[in-house]
Amino acid sequence: MIEKLPSLSRCFQGIIPGSLATCALDGTPNVTYLSQIRQVDDRHVAISRQFFNKTSRNLEANPRATATVVDPVTFEEWKLGLRYVRSETDTPLFVEMALRIEAIASHTGMKGIFRLLSADVCEVEWIRPVSGFLEPAAPEDCCEKAAVDGPMTEIRALSLVSCRINRAVDLESLLYDVLGALDEVLGFRHSMLLLLDEKSRTLVTISSHGYGGSGVGAEVSVAQGLIGTVAATGTPLRLSGMESLLRYSRAVRGTIEAAGGGAELRREIPLPGLPDAESQLALPLLVEDRLIGVLALESRDPLAFEEWHEEFLLVLANQIAIGIDRLSEPSEDEAEPESKAPGASHARKPRRTFLYYPSDDCVFVDGEYLIRNVPGKILWKLLRARRDEGRREFTNRELRLDASLGLPAVKDNLETRLILLRKRLELKCPDVRLVPVMRGRFALEVDGEIDLEERAAG
């Protein structure tokens, strides 16, 4: 038995599938690719068992196995002598490995079909690099990543992000500044914050960084994909080498469809954000045990997120969650609304048609989807109050007191819903704006004419 397993975390990220040789009692060897292998502790690894197969039967009969893994950066190969110990099906290790597989499966419409049967734990009896696998490198061929990560970066990042959270005067500036800080200090170019809408059990993108301003308003159901899985479980999840994982999952899907079992497959859902993301890290935003939302990071680099990022960003995610929660509280100085007469004429300005479907509180503008759910209901209330009563200014307080909006009595996330509404208007309909006047009060500004129409069904 070895004393301590050396760190092979890059080899275990699944970018290059490892392989596993076993042997039946009749002496027939077998070799297969490993979809997932991960380190359990200093002396054990776990391999994923997704289908009952020859490997499983061989391990039950003869526990000796040899695994080969490859470092995706240096392409060096390592060989591990293994002895199968046990299969786990209801342990934290199993849950963690199953989550990774679930997340990949739901991206490819394979949820429930492509799933982990057990985490097979093996003792590592020996480990050694495969000498001679690579020919000696010419000096210019060196491809090791420069060591840019370190304690100083961590401390600087923590300090900067904490500072941004503490100095934020409102929720919108917090959401914007935090993602910018993650880019500045840690180089995470693509990130988004999604907040939980308790009522619809969806996560709504409230702020994004590195997607050219797009993505705000995008929704993910709880338990759907990587982000939804993180929300459902409250556990961070890191995927690397996503292309190879997705290819693997699609290969499975292909064999099921070829076998005539495709009817039960759902349509594949697109990954949010980068179309060519190679790695993703998603972390829950928790205040005590209450889920606020999810912080999601993406990169085109398959090795962008390492284990220490996950641990470290959890600390930051906690602070972000507390900051969001603090700034989502109703302010004490929310004033009563003022009724104002209609303003000046808006002749020669654009004419917009807003269409509202009460069945799902969905609003379209000029035939294009704008927003739905509670923010859709709020927008419709504001537009009608403007048309019917000539209102121009509104307070958060009156929205909170309006039972027809269906806001929960506590933790109503009204501020985040208004930010989402404001951003969607900026994107789809910039001549209709929600402009903050003071804390807890905002104005509805309209540059042109608007028509309102309500339809029973979509």
Residues lying near other proteins in the complex (CB under 8 A): 15-16, 19-23, 25, 27-33, 35, 50-51, 53-54, 62, 64-68, 72-75, 77, 79, 81, 130-137, 141, 143, 243-244, 247-248, 251-256, 258-259, 278, 302
For residue 248, the minimal CB distance to other proteins (Å) is 6
- Closer to other proteins by Cβ: residue 20 or 179: 20
CA angle centred on 370, ends 369 and 375, rounded to 5°: 135
Do strands 64-70 and 44-49 pair parallel, antiparallel, or not at all (unpaired)?
Answer: unpaired
- Closer to other proteins by Cβ: residue 29 or 406: 29
Beta-carbon neighbour count of residue 39 at 10 Å? 18
DSSP at 265 = P
Which class for 52: exposed (0-12), middle (13-18), buried (19 or more C-beta within 10 A)? exposed
- Beta carbons within 8 Å of 345's beta carbon, 6+ residues apart: none
- Beta carbons within 8 Å of 20's beta carbon, 6+ residues apart: 31, 32, 33, 34, 47, 55, 65, 66, 67, 68
For residue 105, the minimal CB distance to other proteins (Å) is 12
Residue listed under structure tokens 């693509």: 190
Q: How far is 160 from 319, CA to CA, in rounded Å?
A: 12
Q: Which residue type does 318 have?
A: N
For residue 250, the minimal CB distance to other proteins (Å) is 8
Q: How far is 19 from 278, CA to CA, in rounded Å?
A: 22
For residue 167, the minimal CB distance to other proteins (Å) is 40
- Closer to other proteins by Cβ: residue 15 or 181: 15
For residue 119, the minimal CB distance to other proteins (Å) is 17
Greatest CA separation found in the chain?
92
For residue 112, the minimal CB distance to other proteins (Å) is 13
- Closer to other proteins by Cβ: residue 19 or 235: 19
- Closer to other proteins by Cβ: residue 25 or 457: 25
For residue 175, the minimal CB distance to other proteins (Å) is 32
For residue 32, the minimal CB distance to other proteins (Å) is 6
Please name which of 30, 67, 320, 22 lies closest in space to residue 180, comparing C-alpha atoms. 320
In DSSP terms, 189 is beta-bridged to: none
- Closer to other proteins by Cβ: residue 34 or 165: 34
- Closer to other proteins by Cβ: residue 278 or 361: 278
For residue 278, the minimal CB distance to other proteins (Å) is 7
For residue 310, the minimal CB distance to other proteins (Å) is 22
- Closer to other proteins by Cβ: residue 137 or 155: 137
- Closer to other proteins by Cβ: residue 16 or 296: 16
- Closer to other proteins by Cβ: residue 31 or 155: 31
- And the tokens for 203? 């996560």
3-state secondary structure of 203: strand
- Closer to other proteins by Cβ: residue 147 or 258: 258
3-state secondary structure of 418: helix
- Closer to other proteins by Cβ: residue 258 or 344: 258
For residue 272, the minimal CB distance to other proteins (Å) is 21
For residue 304, the minimal CB distance to other proteins (Å) is 13
Q: How far is 240 from 280, CA to CA, in rounded Å?
A: 7
Q: How far is 325 from 369, CA to CA, in rounded Å?
A: 29
Q: Which pairs count as long-range contacts for 349-352, CB under 8 Å and 24+ apart, including other chains?
A: 349/431, 349/447, 349/448, 349/449, 350/431, 350/447, 350/448, 350/449, 351/448, 351/449, 351/450, 351/451, 352/429, 352/431, 352/432, 352/448, 352/449, 352/450, 352/451
- Beta carbons within 8 Å of 349's beta carbon, 6+ residues apart: 431, 447, 448, 449
End-to-end C-alpha distance for the chain, whole angstroms? 66
